[in-house]
Amino acid sequence: MAAFLMILALWPQGVQARYPQWELAADVKSRFSTGCSSVQELMNQAEARGLDGLLFGDHDRKSIQYGIPYMERVLRTKMGSPSLLDNGAATYLGEINQIDRTDDTLVLVPGVESAPFYYWTGNPLDMNLVAHNWDKHLLIIGLPNSRDYEELPTLNSSFTTRYLKDDYLPFLIYVIGGLIGFYGFVARRRWRGLSFMFSLVMALLAANTHPFKSSPFDQYQGDQGVEPYQYLIDYAESKGALVFWNHLETPVSEELRGDLIQVKTRTESHPQDLLLTRRYTGFQAMSTAPVSAVEPGKEWDQVLMQYLDGKRDRPVWGYGANDFRCEGKEGGLLGGVRTVVLAKQKSRPAVVKALRAGRMYAVKQGAGKHRLSLDAFELIDPATGNRAVMGKELETASPPAIGIKLSMTGDESNARAQIRLIRNGQVVKQGLLSLPYEGVWQDASPAQRGYYRLLVEVDADNQLVSNPIFFNSGPSQQTAVASAKTDTLSTPDPLPATPLNANPLPLPTEEAKALAPTTEPSAPLEKYVEVTGRGVRLRKGPSTKFPVVGKVNAGERLLFVRRTDVMFHGKAWIVIKKENALAYVWEGLVKELPTDQRN
């Protein structure tokens, strides 16, 4: 009891206080794929929403192809949407990296959402052609360079030499046959027509069987299970990247119309893939729609129990995916779903490290500015006072105490939250709490090794999912599943209202106030450029591959915003502002105005 009272007195000074919380909108699409806004515009929107960072998830290659049997790669029709690789992976990384490097307002983390495989059923002649699993996505974060993006093992993507040694023999036979036919066409007068036809057929077959493909799979051999997805996971892991399963719960069905045919796509919910794949980092535990895999005893708990039993070499973390595309359209509100990371610094390396370690929780909030905040969630050793936060494991000689501090940001001080504490897949405590809440719970756990995690709900628009904290309280590796019996929460005595960050900056002295400047610093002069060409096109991104958003004529002045790192013929693409809208123009088509002509 004395140890427990000591925890009550000291808990607010816990380890989580050393980790500031940073709010991210994750899985955000820009104009590089299916989004409506540029990277700069998204940054402005995020700052207005009170976000600390953006984690991008632009589609790598959002295309679908169907070809005539035996000539699938040559005689085919293609449908799809704009994608990152269409607009250039180097341009994409250069744009995000430059803004992140030069502007510390927000943390920007590049990522890519990939659907590595789909397969066909039906027949175009019967009007029942269906592409299955076209929206079965993985989010990949931290690929080092543009070449790693270009060589992602997905269907219909860039040419690679990765499979050359495995598939070169048929290709080589057809190439030799084509050369023999061409020689017969050139060197002989007789049978020239036959030689030409033979050479043409061999050339088509060589093109159809070429080994410079982007994936070892194809869409014409039926369902391949999780093998294509595991292949992509292994590729990303070999590059040091993080991989998260996305949209496991949401079935998708749509129609696509190409130049020649109309097809349907169908993707069923697939939370079971959490159990069928290995070595991924985590999954989308929070969405605008319910995620059943986070419920007690479901797929997430089953995976975590496999880790405790030694059947997996790492845990699986949950994060919140915003899946944002356009404001007010598909994808909803920027920041409507957030991933809150615990990181010592507001920087990309610190954020990625926290994502890898599981120091984060996912939260959904409504249109207002208030949201649930997990101000502290720790396991505490009653004997030593040692602690562990989300993603960590506590070594303890006795069952740990659980410290929880919850609040609602904004003006919702009278909110009430339903909270469930889950141990090893079972709810062990639950109840309805008034927020803000702060308390330490004890759990006489029979398990000597396990984990705790939290589910919190105020209403359908305000929910929270924590990541697990592991504990090991004995030499045996027993991982008993908690009893199905649940205890109702009993609220402990109120704790001292000590803030987690207990080292506020000192207030300025009267002398310091007197010496402080009394005027605001002067704003920097605005910089303008003048258009030098006729009919100069303004674009949505730093490349001619992006759509045109307007035209300007020689002599027009444009407000200069910044210079990008994307070069063309020795000059950079620059960002300008025209009529309060951002656009891109090549530096070779404008000139900088002297200082005395800028206003």
DSSP 489-552: P---PPPP---SS--PPPPPPHHHHHHS--SPPPPPPP-EEEE-SSSEEEESSSSTTSPEEEEE
Q: Is 578 among the domain residues?
A: yes
Q: Is 475 among the domain residues?
A: yes
More confident residue, 80 or 470: 470
Q: What gap in Å lies between CA 131 and CA 254, rounded to an integer? A: 10
Mean pLDDT of all residues in 92-116: 93
**CB-based contact 205:174 (threshold 8 Å):** yes
Read off the pLDDT band of 168 (50, 70, 90): confident
Question: Is 233 in a helix, a strand, or coil?
Answer: helix
Question: Is 418 in a helix, a strand, or coil?
Answer: strand
In the numeric block, the tokens 């009529």 are attached to: 579
Mean pLDDT of all residues in 123-131: 87
Mean pLDDT of all residues in 216-230: 94
Q: State whether 24 and 63 are in the same domain.
A: yes
Please state the domain count of the chain. Answer: 4
Read off the pLDDT band of 161 (50, 70, 90): confident
Kindly report, residue by residue over 402-415, the tens digit of the pLDDT. Answer: 999 999 987 656 78
Query: What phi-psi label fits residue 279: left (phi over 0), alpha (psi between -120 and 50 degrees) or beta?
Result: left
The one-letter amino acid code at 480 reads A
Q: State whether 202 and 127 are in the same domain.
A: no
Res 563: pLDDT: 87
Instruction: Give the CATH number for residue 446.
Output: 2.60.40.10
Among candidate residues 191, 208, 225, the one where a domain is terminated: 208
Question: Is 228 in a helix, a strand, or coil?
Answer: helix
In the numeric block, the tokens 């940054």 are attached to: 43
Q: State whether 393 and 279 are in the same domain.
A: no
Burial class (CB in 10 A: 0-12, 13-18, 19+), 301: buried
The one-letter amino acid code at 412 reads E
Q: State whether 185 and 73 are in the same domain.
A: no
Q: Which two tokens stand for residue 57?
A: 């998830």
Q: Is 123 among the domain residues?
A: yes
Q: Which two tokens stand for residue 238?
A: 């070999």
Q: Which domain holds residue 447?
A: 2-13+368-488
Mean pLDDT of all residues in 86-108: 92
Lowest mean pLDDT among 241-250, 263-272, 487-496, 569-578: 487-496
Q: What gap in Å lies between CA 72 and CA 21, rounded to an integer? A: 51
In the predicted structure, residue 399 carries a pLDDT above the cut 60: yes
Q: State whether 130 and 199 are in the same domain.
A: no
Res 271: pLDDT: 96
Write phi, then psi, for 458 (nearest 5 degrees).
-95, -50
Q: Which two tokens stand for residue 368?
A: 């207002």
Q: State whether 196 and 128 are in the same domain.
A: no
Q: State whether 114 and 252 are in the same domain.
A: yes
Q: Which two tokens stand for residue 587?
A: 């530096």
**CB-based contact 10:385 (threshold 8 Å):** yes
Q: State whether 242 and 306 are in the same domain.
A: yes
Q: What gap in Å lies between CA 7 and CA 512, rounded to an integer? A: 40
In the numeric block, the tokens 């924590």 are attached to: 466
Instruction: Give the CATH number for residue 286.
Output: 3.20.20.140
Within 227-358, where are the H helices? 227-238, 273-276, 299-308, 348-357
Residue 182: how many other CB atoms lie within 10 Å? 17
Kindly report, residue by residue over 422-435, the tens digit of the pLDDT. Answer: 999 999 999 999 99
